[in-house]
Copies of this chain bind each other. A is one copy, B any other.
Amino acid sequence: MGMPLELNTMIITKGKEMRIQDNTFQVVKKGYRLYPLDIPVEVRKTKESDPIGTGVIQKVELENEKTVVTYMLISLNSTN
């Protein structure tokens, strides 16, 4: 009786983030995932790419073997 879960320390968007409003974005990930909320995390397009910027996750929803992550982009890396 176990639930597969992935522990994540950053947001990988794969370019699939949707802008909800202003600086708030949402990305849907496969499977159940655990992310840290309310603390700054790196935002990257792919796991190999340089960070796009820094985000703060405001909401994590686990349902139907998917995880919806809502985050506010708090800073953008100038070199990106």
Q: Tell me if A's interface is mostly helix, strand, loop or mixed.
A: strand
B-facing mask of A49-68, CB < 8 A → 1, else 0?
00000000011111111000
CB distance from A2 to the nearest CB of B (A): 4
A4 located at the interface, meaning its Cβ lies under 8 Å from any Cβ of chain B in the complex: yes
Interface size class of A (residues with CB under 8 A): 20 to 34
**Given A2-B33, A34-B34, A47-B1, A9–B39 Cβ distance below 8 Å?**
yes
Query: B2, B12, B40, B59: which contacts A63 (Cβ < 8 A)?
Result: B59
CB distance from A53 to the nearest CB of B (A): 16
Q: Contact: B9 with A6, CB < 8 Å?
A: no
Q: Contact: A4 with B1, CB < 8 Å?
A: no
